[in-house]
Amino acid sequence: MKVPLSWLREYVDLPAVTAQEVADKLTAARLKLESITSYGHDVKNVVVGEVLEIEELTGFKKPIRHCKVEVGEATPREIVCGATNFAVGDRVPVVLPGGVLPGGFEVGARKTYGRMSEGMICSERELGLTDEHAGIMVLPPDTPIGADVADLLGLRDDVLELEITPDVGYALSIRGVAREAAVAFGVPFRDPADVELPAETEQAWPASIADPTACDRFVLREVRGFDPAAQSPLWMRVRLARAGMRPVSLAVDVTNYLMLELGQPLHAFDRAKLTGEIVVRRARPGERLETLDHVVRDLDPDDILITDESGPISMAGTMGGLETEISDASTDIVIEAAHFSATGISRESRRHRLVSEASKRFERGVDRELPLVASWRAVQLLAELGGASVQPGVTHAETDVRPARIAMPAGHPGAVAGVTYAKESVVRRLEQIGCTVTDGDDPAVRRGGVDPTGVVTGGELAAKLAVTGDDMITVTPPSWRPDLTDPNDLAEEVIRLEGYDRLPSILPAAPAGAGLTEGQRLRRRVGRALAAAGYVEVLAYPFVSDTDFDHLQLPADDARRRAVRLVNPLADDEPLMRTTLLPGLLKTLVRNVGRGFTDVAVFESGAVYRPREGAPPTAPVLGVQRRPTADELASVAAALPDQPHRVAVVLAGEFDRSGWWGGGRQECWADAVQAARIVADEAGVELSVVADQHEPWHPGRCAALYAGDTLVGHAGELHPRVVEAYGLPPRTSAMELELSRLEPAVPGPVQAPQVSAYPVATQDVALIVPDFTPVADVEAALRDGAGGLLESVRLFDVYAGEQAGEGNKSLAYTLRFRAQDRTLTVEETTAARDAAVAMAADRVGAHLRGA
């Protein structure tokens, strides 16, 4: 919201402060400053002149005029000008030699087109007023010659650009910002909406509200005999331009001006193009409307429309229809002002991707009492500036809306802030923002619900705190603050106005026993371990599409295809919550490879979302007026999907980098399996690796990962079709493991291992096994057979050739033995080795090579 300081001062008696000081006060009142733009402070030596003579110069490619201009000095100034829209006797702004225009542009006397030019005659854009530059700015004939143009036209101004959050929609107006400034500086506020309305009983144009949930107040007023050629006055065009809006025409400028000033959007209809009664209703199936931006829109049944007998004529609160647009020939105008549903306008705007200045205000909440005032101000300005006559009567359709009333203990703001606020201070601050405060504990308000005098809120908190004997007050928020619905909202207002800087800074005491859970510790350890192993952590969006499931080659009945669908997705092409981490990682890999990073090893740790069988389709929406009951919380939990925590890695290119030291090593499926082992080590779990077939992995290079009898994940090389679908490097590998299934196995706090002081004894064995035998099965047999003296087993050689025999392979292992209490003898280690070999022979048919 751009706020010219001169406009603000019309309604607030600000002291002699700078724009920065005003901005600091407003920022403290939660209207955050974005920027300050200064206009005209560098302008000097620009005066009013009267054109005495004009000589048309010939022989040039464009019209050139040599003018004599009276500027209040002893002799007229001679000025060369290329504009032709002024005549002898016109009064114009003139910058004299040595003068400066906005932006620091200095003007001097110089010879041009064969004549001496002593200055420059200015357009509106050159003076920094508007973007109009089609010709010279012609001033009213009674403007005093020689007067300072900067003072005369108000060139010097500062504009504050404020960031307005969705909960303070009232501040999207000069009226709202002025009210905050008045409170901040402790000065009077003059409300531009405080006008006396005529007592009228006639209707301006027949209208009605067909859907009270879409609109609860609809106002029409009418003017006739409007002059379409009438120009918006300079002061209005300047204010619109500095507030960030482009001047269009008088009728449009008036509605925009009042929207900026009051915060009430208005719309002007050409009366000659209306047919029959105007009705506010929801759209019907198949209806369409061509809006002012020349786009034909298919309307949704939830859209809020303004219609007449011809059908839709406007998308309420968002954009008008082209058929009833004000044109250059419009003389009779109907002005519409209304109070529409904030949620309805918000959904309509997003549905059609049509965000307007009007929709921004309606979706944040507009003052329900403004339509009558704003429409009256609009017809008055059209009459005053456009020569129209205001027709008697006003159409006022409305539904009964009772004001909210909130019960609150007077000490509640202090309890929230941790400081003591006197009851008088609480009441004074609430009255400053426009609330009506009454003493006493209204039982109906404390109970919550609705009583005959109005809607009441805050019941549970009021009832809870009233028993303490605290003074109770009943607060009725003003019509321009629909965001005040709860005692905590009122507490926030009191605290911010009393000053956040007055709140003490106290470090809260850490509660005993708090800290990270074992699951959280595991996730952090896993992240550090993978990073230490050379992987880079990424955070991908958790949104996927059905196309991702197709790219992963998932079968039609795969459980991973059952995904949670978002009601309001960020992107229409990714409306689902992920059921696997792989799509986000694969897209990250593609992006990196596309930018020249061909050697990639990335990982992600996060939740996936798996819908439960029999879960309700949507979660219930609970109110905020009280704490949900156990049954309500259970109903929400039942609708939520399972959210197991997973970790996944993706590798491509070189895993061990090449360089001057020699060649590197390409990643392979074994690196993905090793990544799983790294994760399992952090949980203190030993994984079993079993060959498997599971999409999206290559059927011959896929490993299922087990922790005991529990399947915890898969690893291996991706299927070539998956590589092709995503555009991945050849033979890309990946691993995905469910951490949630490892967490129960975490033994708790890490125990220091016992370190034996006795020497290690090693024994090497080379076993011949059938070539289809999994290495993991051989290793498991060796471990089980060797007994408790075995410290580790390591495969250091695999051989398949003539000496191993056809259909066989040779596996060479190093077995390390150690005891905690003695030095092992050769006989003990040999016996343990022989037992290990015997177990391998029994389980997988292994025998010693050469035996």
What integer pLDDT is reported at residue 441 of this predicted model? 57
Question: Six-digit token pair at 679?
Answer: 């994760």
Tell me, what DSSP letter sits at residue 134? S
Confidence of residue 753 (pLDDT cuts 50, 70, 90): confident
Average pLDDT, the chain: 90
Nearest-angstrom CA–CA distance, 680 and 31: 51
pLDDT at 554 over 90: yes
Mean pLDDT of 426-436: 93
Mean pLDDT of 712-731: 95
Choose between 373 and 104: higher pLDDT. Answer: 373
Confidence of residue 453 (pLDDT cuts 50, 70, 90): very low
Task: Outline where 457-600 has alpha helix (H).
Answer: 459-466, 487-498, 518-532, 546-551, 582-594
pLDDT at 155 over 80: yes
Bridge pairing between strands 278-282 and 207-209:
parallel
Percent of the chain with pLDDT over 70: 96
Most confidently modeled range among 586-600, 623-637, 652-666? 586-600
Most confidently modeled range among 145-159, 245-259, 435-449? 245-259
Tell me, what amino acid is at 775?
V
Bridge pairing between strands 808-817 and 790-799:
antiparallel
Q: What is the pLDDT of residues 647-678, one digit of tens each?
A: 999 999 999 888 888 888 999 999 999 999 99
Helix (H, G, I), strand (E, B) or coil at 117: strand
What integer pLDDT is reported at residue 152 of this predicted model? 87
Q: What is the pLDDT of residues 598-626, one digit of tens each?
A: 999 999 999 999 998 888 878 888 887 78
Strands (E), 192-231: 207-209, 215-224
Least confident of 129-143, 456-470, 501-515: 456-470
Continuous segment of H or E residues that includes residue 840: helix 826-844
Confidence of residue 506 (pLDDT cuts 50, 70, 90): confident
Mean pLDDT of 713-726: 95
Mean pLDDT of 400-405: 88
What integer pLDDT is reported at residue 749 of this predicted model? 67
What integer pLDDT is reported at residue 451 of this predicted model? 39
Choose between 208 and 40: higher pLDDT. Answer: 208
Helix (H, G, I), strand (E, B) or coil at 193: coil
User: How many CA atoms does the CB half-sphere of 164 hold within 13 Å?
Assistant: 22
User: How many CA atoms does the CB half-sphere of 36 hold within 13 Å?
Assistant: 13
Confidence of residue 830 (pLDDT cuts 50, 70, 90): very high
What integer pLDDT is reported at residue 454 of this predicted model? 42
